[in-house]
Structure formats: C-alpha cells, structure tokens
Amino acid sequence: MKKIILSLTLLFVFSSAQEPRSDKSINIVKETVVQKIVDIKGGRGPSLLIDPSRPIEVGITSFKQDSSSYLFSVYMINHQTVSGIQLDIQPNNFFIVDEVYGGRAENNNFALHYNKSGRILGFSMSGGFIPESSSLDKSKNILFNVEATSYSKLDIPIIIAPIFADKDAQRMEFISIPFEIGK
C-alpha cells in the first residue's frame, strides 16, 4: 500500500512540475526568406527573356527531301500568347501540301486546316492559345510539321508569310526568316 501511495505521489509531483505545453506559432519575416531561382526542365531557362514588345520569329527548320516528297517543320518563337494563325508558304503553288500536323499547335489543341496550295490555318475552337516560348532553340519551338510534294526545282528561298492573332484577335508583329534549300 505504501508503494502505491508513493507511486501516486511521485506521479502527481512530476506531472505538476512540468510546464504546460502550448503550440507555438511560426512567423516568417519576408526579409529572412531566401529566394533561389531554379531552372526546371521544360520551364523558362535563362536563355529566353520574355519581352512582349518583341515580334514573333517564324521560319523553317528540319527540312528533308526525298525525290518529290518534302517534310519540313515550321517554328515559331513568340513572346506573347498566340490565339490564331494564318500562314502561306511562298513561293505560292510550289508545294502541294499533303498534311499538316503536330508541334506546339497540336499540343495546345489547335485545329489545323490547309489547302493544297500552301495556306495553313490554326486556331482553337475552345478559345485556347499557344503560350509564350520557353527557349530560343528553334527545334523546341516547332509550330507544326508539313508534308508536301513538288515536281519543280526550287531555286529561290522558301518564305513563310504569316498572320498571327493575339488573345484579343489583334494582328501581331512578326519576322519571317527565309529558308534556302541546301544551305
């Protein structure tokens, strides 16, 4: 019995001797936060500084020819979102366009329409857009791919003549880089 009373007394003394626990709040002071910029794969790296005043750059990259068949990629480096595309491949009627597919346009749910003479239209029926480029690398900014046929010899540069629309359906400035076959 003495042991039980002693045990209860000790338990009572030790439990009352401890300070009551309370949750402490953590205050974060803005000046103590460390800011670190991390380059995440697929994110905007240091190679591209978004400048909405800069025009869109458009041109051809990844050009392949097999007899009368052609496969090439049209790239677009843009500093603003793009909501609509109309593009003509010049010289007019040199290529017979067989298919247009893939790239950033298709990845952003743009419907791609074309005629045989080289006019290509791209837009989103749901009001979507193509976001700003995340790199200056042309191969990472493929707008779409074009499969075409031609039975003529081309001795002048291929030029992309586009019309781009912003989110407010306003025409956007652009620079078209001519592409010379074999150079």
- pLDDT tens digits, 33-70: 443 333 444 444 445 677 778 999 999 998 999 989 99
Domain presence at residue 5: no
Statement: residue 172 has pLDDT above 90: yes
Banded pLDDT at 2 (limits 50, 70, 90): low
Domain presence at residue 32: no
Statement: residue 9 has pLDDT above 80: no
Domain CATH for 163: 2.60.40.680
For residues 40 and 123, what is the distance between their CA atoms, to the nearest angstrom?
Answer: 29
Statement: residue 15 has pLDDT above 50: no
Q: What is the mean pLDDT of the chain?
A: 81
Vertex 136 angle, CA 134 and 141, to 5°: 65
Claim: this prediction has a pTM higher than 0.75: no
Domain presence at residue 101: yes
Domain presence at residue 133: yes
Instruction: Return the number of other C-beta atoms located less than 10 Å from residue 131's C-beta.
Output: 12
Domain presence at residue 108: yes
For residues 64 and 120, what is the distance between their CA atoms, to the nearest angstrom?
Answer: 19
For 109-146, how does the pLDDT look when each residue is reduced to its tens digit (9 = 90+)? 999 999 998 999 999 999 999 999 999 999 999 999 99
Statement: residue 98 has pLDDT above 60: yes
> What integer pLDDT is reported at residue 183 of this predicted model?
63
Domain presence at residue 38: no
Range of the domain at 149: 56-176
Q: How distant, in Å, are the alpha carbons of 66, 108, 147 from that of 118?
A: 19, 22, 11
Strand partners, 60: 74
Q: How many domains does the chain have?
A: 1
Top pLDDT among 126 and 9 is at 126
For 64-76, how does the pLDDT look when each residue is reduced to its tens digit (9 = 90+)? 999 899 999 999 9
